[in-house]
A and B are shown apart, each in its own frame.
Chain A
Amino acid sequence: MYAPEVEAPAAVVLPASGLDDLLTALTGRGYEVRGPTLRDGVVIHDRLTGAQDLPRGVGDEQRPGHYRTTPREDDALFGYAVGPSSAKRALFPPRQPLWSAVSVGDADFEIREADRPSPRVALFGLRPCELAAIAVQDRVLLHGAVPDEVYTANRADLLLIGVECGDPAATCFCSSMATGPGTDQGADLLLTELLGGEHRFLLRAPTAAGQALVADLDTRPATEADLAARDALLEDAAGAMERHLDTDGVHDLLLGNLEHPRWDDIAKRCLACGNCTLVCPTCFCTTVEDTTDLAGTTATRERRWDSCFSLDFTHTGPASVRNTTRARYRQWLTHKLATWIDQFDTSGCVGCGRCITWCPVGIDLTAEVATIKRTSEDPDAPARS
């Protein structure tokens, strides 16, 4: 996790009209600010030039295989849950040139590292589940046995500004994964949007970088009423969460049911299209593609997102190891919820619900786990490894 650098100072309050000052303070410090904005009818993360780019008065309606934005009756700037994009796109890009081999002379070549422009990026408006996802990717890609160079470089000078959730979608289950709807960590600055009475933001800055930003803003100290409003908001949000994943014993449940008939039932519905893995904020699987130029003088190696749902992903020798959809879905779910814990000492799931919403046939992992649990012949069977 992102350890606070300093004793967290008291919360302050910024009027909603002051949010633009925060964005200006970021761009003034040379940050390229990326945050939630509307595109093609969806809230995605893209470049922000000011508070006017935020989706004002926009809510969302999400269910398995379904997403729509909806108008709200208030001026909320963060009145929606997560959309299809996540911080993964910025920190672990879908395509990443790694290096080229260029011929020099008749029989020699030299290796050239790919240019990696690394703009100073501030990710703005990340939800607690998204901050938790960054913490998961940090474990894998930053603090793992072999740190990933690309991720490490993108992570180095990154500023994170989180926003707590007041209005979860029907596909959210962060309260089950203990990642939201509120958080005290994972970001340089944490915002809570308070809509009742004066439209305002509660600001807390767990890091020195966040505190320096707050110092540039015209804020007032938070009152007991402001803090109580935050508590009520988070309590309501947690209470409104419709979906739940029972994490108690899920590791042994899944690994003890590798031959459960439910996997066959899921395989009948699963399209093996890969959408769940690609929208997942923690999935990190990639492949490399080697191409050459027509002149035959330059070979380039590029890394791109892959998915455990593609046949090529386990292609070794004559065939794919996981050659059925059943095997591939089971691999994904058991890795995400069980063997991820063995590998990285954390669940791979943060409860954001993206894999449920963006599955083109609405497969819901919380429902599948519940079904396996309910119909497991021996829920206490020892895990196979």
Chain B
Amino acid sequence: MTDEIGRPSVAVWKFASCDGCQLSLLSAEDELLTIAGQIHIAYFLEATREVADGPYDISLVEGSITTPADAERIRRVREVSTTLITIGACATAGGIQALRNFSDMEAFRSLVYAEPRYIDALAESTAIAEHVPVDLELRGCPIETSQLVEVINAILAGRKPVTPTHSVCVECKLQGNVCVTVADGTPCLGPVTQAGCNARCPAFRRGCYGCFGPAESPNTASLASWLTDELAVEHPELVRLFRTFNADAPAFRTQSRRHEPDREEVAT
């Protein structure tokens, strides 16, 4: 709830993740002091041991759901949060750890851990929105600091945040980047990936690897066909292209599965 001087309370929660997205808030160096003056950070273990009780006006949730305990915990977080915003590819699509969704979790458990019986994990890593209603998603691996600041800023001002869901191509063209697929023959997920990164990779003549996940109408089937027919990108590269940080986002998952000739072969 708002504190005695009317500032909204903010909680930052961690689930299965690397903490990189939470750090994006701390690394907003130019804006951090101004933000800190306008919100009441009530729960943010990455930044402070001080904890204030809920309920909270805004909850920022990082990470995916990978254990039965976390599946319960996210429900409690939802109950004590007025606005719940998921931050980063783990929270919005299951993250890199969702690669296990394409394999056998039991096999990993017995191979990796000396005492597998102590490991209580779910078979799949899933996005927060598969468990509780989410008010806004911030994509990226990690999220773009400027987008997080924009969202907090918009909430404080009571306006709609500027977080477009169109393709990365729009950002390339706004900036005058030359298309790496057309001009260099470089496979690029930009046409099917959501904007928000200012087309960082294509600006450095690299193909987009889709860390912001699928754009609003991602025709991944057409892009995959073109990459195969025109640029000779085939298995296993084509599967790997769609199977990274947003591997379990439906539009990417469908394509990587479609171009996987033999699931058993990939699992070994």
What chain B residues lie within 8 Å of A84 (beta carbons)? 178-179
The residue in chain A whose Cβ has the minimal distance to the Cβ of B166 is A310
Q: Interface code B162-206, partner A: CB below 8 Å = 1, 0 otherwise? A: 101111011001111011011111001011100000000000010
A41 within 8 A of B: yes
Q: Please tell me the size bucket of the interface on B.
A: 35 or more
- Are B159 and A290 in contact, CB atoms less than 8 angstroms apart? yes
Q: A41 and B181: CB pair below 8 A?
A: no
Asked if A362 is at the interface (CB within 8 A of a chain B CB), the reply is yes
Q: Contact at A67–B167, with CB atoms within 8 Å? A: no
Interface residue from A42, A279, A292, A360 paired with B191 (Cβ < 8 Å): A360
Interface residues of B in 192-242 (CB under 8 A from A): 192, 205, 215-217, 219, 221-223, 225-226, 230
Q: How far is the CB of A24 from chain B (nearest CB, A)?
A: 27
Select which of B150, B217, B226 is within 8 A of A362 by beta carbon: B226
The 0/1 profile, CB within 8 Å of A marked 1, for residues 152-164 of chain B is: 0110110110101
Among A249-308, those with CB < 8 Å from B are 268-275, 278-279, 289-296, 299, 304-305, 307
Contacts of B183 in A (CB 8 A): 40-42, 67-68
Q: Whose C-beta in chain A lies nearest to the C-beta of B173? A: A278
Q: Is the CB of A361 within 8 A of B174?
A: no
Given known contacts A270-B219, A271-B219, A311-B217, is B153 in contact with A292 (CB within 8 Å)?
yes
A85 contacts chain B at the CB level, 8 A cutoff:
yes
Q: Knowing A94-B173, A278-B170 are in contact, say whether A310-B216 is a contact too (CB < 8 A).
A: yes
Greatest chain B CB density within 10 A among A66, A271, A273, A295 is at A273
With both chains docked as a complex, state the minimum distance between the C-beta of A331 and any C-beta of chain B, in angstroms: 14
With A66-B182, A312-B165, A312-B166 as contacts: A294 and B34 at CB distance below 8 Å: yes
**With contact pairs A291-B150, A294-B34 given, residues A305 and B167 touching in the complex (Cβ less than 8 Å):** no
Given contacts A39-B178, A292-B157, A358-B182, contact A325 B217 (CB under 8 A): yes
The smallest beta-carbon distance between B174 and chain A, in angstroms, is 4
The residue in chain B whose Cβ has the minimal distance to the Cβ of A41 is B183
Q: Is there an interface contact between A292 and B159, defined as CB atoms closer than 8 Å?
A: yes
A44, CB-defined interface residue at 8 Å: yes
Distance between Cα atoms of A95 and B170 in the complex (Å): 12
Set of chain A residues within 8 Å of B74, measured between Cβ atoms? none
Q: Is the CB of A42 within 8 A of B178?
A: yes
Pick from B149, B154, B173: contact of A305, CB under 8 Å: B173
* Least distance between B10 CB and chain A CB atoms (Å): 14
- Asked if residues A41 and B223 are in contact (CB atoms below 8 Å), the reply is no
For A39, the chain B residues whose CB sits under 8 A away are 178
Cβ contact within 8 Å between B182 and A67: yes
Distance in angstroms from A86 CB to nearest chain B CB is 11
Cβ of A360: which chain B residues have Cβ within 8 Å of it? 169, 179, 181-182, 188, 190-191, 223, 226
Out of A85, A289, A304, name the residue touching B176 (CB < 8 Å).
Answer: A85
Decide: B170 and A294 in contact? CB cutoff 8 A.
no
- Tell me if A362 and B230 are in contact (CB < 8 A): yes
Residues in B whose Cβ lies below 8 Å from that of A312:
164-166, 216
Cβ-based interface call for A357 (8 A): yes
- Residues on A with C-beta less than 8 A from B145 are none
B residues less than 8 Å from A293 (CB atoms): 153
Tell me the B128-147 residues at the A interface (CB within 8 Å). none
Q: Does chain A have a CB within 8 A of B31?
A: yes
B173 A41 Cβ-Cβ under 8 A:
no
Q: Are A361 and B222 in contact, CB atoms less than 8 angstroms apart?
A: yes
A65 within 8 A of B: yes
- Determine whether B122 belongs to the interface, using a CB cutoff of 8 Å to chain A: no
Write 10 A-B pairs (CB below 8 A) sorted by A numbering.
A65-B181, A94-B174, A271-B223, A272-B217, A273-B169, A274-B173, A304-B174, A309-B166, A358-B179, A361-B222
- B: which residues have CB within 8 A of A? 31, 34-35, 38, 149-150, 153-154, 156-157, 159-160, 162, 164-167, 169-170, 173-176, 178-179, 181-185, 188, 190-192, 205, 215-217, 219, 221-223, 225-226, 230
Could you list 15 further interchain pairs (A-B, Cβ under 8 angstroms) beyond the known A273-B191, A273-B215, A275-B179? A40-B178, A40-B183, A66-B230, A271-B192, A272-B216, A274-B166, A278-B173, A290-B160, A294-B31, A294-B34, A296-B156, A310-B170, A311-B216, A312-B166, A360-B179
Task: Enumerate the 5 nearest inter-chain pairs by beta-carbon distance, A residue then B residue, closest first.
Answer: A278-B173, A273-B191, A273-B167, A271-B191, A273-B169
